[in-house]
Amino acid sequence: MSESSGVLFSRLFSESRVALRRYVGRLVSSPETADEIVQEAYLRTYENAERVRTPRAFLFSAARNLASDARRQDRTRNTQCVGDLDLSHVVSSQESLEGGLISSEKVRLLKEAVEQLSPRCRAAFTLRVFHGHSYKEIAGRLGLSPKTVENHIARALRETHGYMRRRYQLK
């Protein structure tokens, strides 16, 4: 990339950053996902700078496409996650009605807690907890490093436990 292209890219970044973040924020469900999409859109614009005639249009189109992909992946993960959790509400004939209701309530709260996670965090957590995959397997499936997977799962555990505590108002 030439020096003048670098200056143009810097100007594009400073002029478009706030508007792009707001635009992407309306398209996806989590701030973390929006930030990742904005970063990736800038990277793609930068990588294609020599071939792009209208960088701002390319930037917003890339962001829109990335957001669309993220929503599609999010729907797929939510469907898989909810399907896995729904199996856990089966009440045995020996279990009391009260125990069954408490169990159902816990499952509902766990679903809510998992849905609050960022898409990548939710995917890593779901693959580990509900499917029993190793960190290495998850890393391969999600295109992340095992350490990043470990961090996502740790964050998911903190956030789901915190959500459950807040809902049960435990200290």
Q: Is 77 within a domain?
A: no
Q: Is 85 within a domain?
A: no
Q: Is 84 within a domain?
A: no
Per-residue pLDDT of the chain (171 residues; tens, 9 = 90+): 555 666 777 888 888 889 999 999 999 888 888 899 999 998 888 888 888 889 899 999 999 999 988 888 877 665 555 445 544 444 444 456 665 556 667 777 778 888 888 988 988 988 888 788 888 889 999 898 989 998 998 898 888 888 888 877 654
Residues 154, 120, single domain; the answer is: yes
Residue that finishes a domain, picked among 72, 101, 126: 72
Q: Which of 36, 61, 37, 35 is nearest to 48 (CA)?
A: 61
Number of separate domains in the chain? 2
Find the CATH number of the domain harbouring 33. 1.10.1740
Residues 96, 160, single domain; the answer is: yes
Residues 23, 58, single domain; the answer is: yes
Which parts of 2-104 are beta strand (E)? none
Residue 92 dihedral angles phi and psi, to the nearest 5°:
-75, 160
Residues 58, 98, single domain; the answer is: no
For residue 101, give both structure tokens: 């209701």
Q: Which of 95, 157, 86, 90 is nearest to 122 (CA)?
A: 157
Range of the domain at 107: 90-168
Find the CATH number of the domain harbouring 146. 1.10.10.10
Residues 12, 50, single domain; the answer is: yes
* DSSP at 48: T
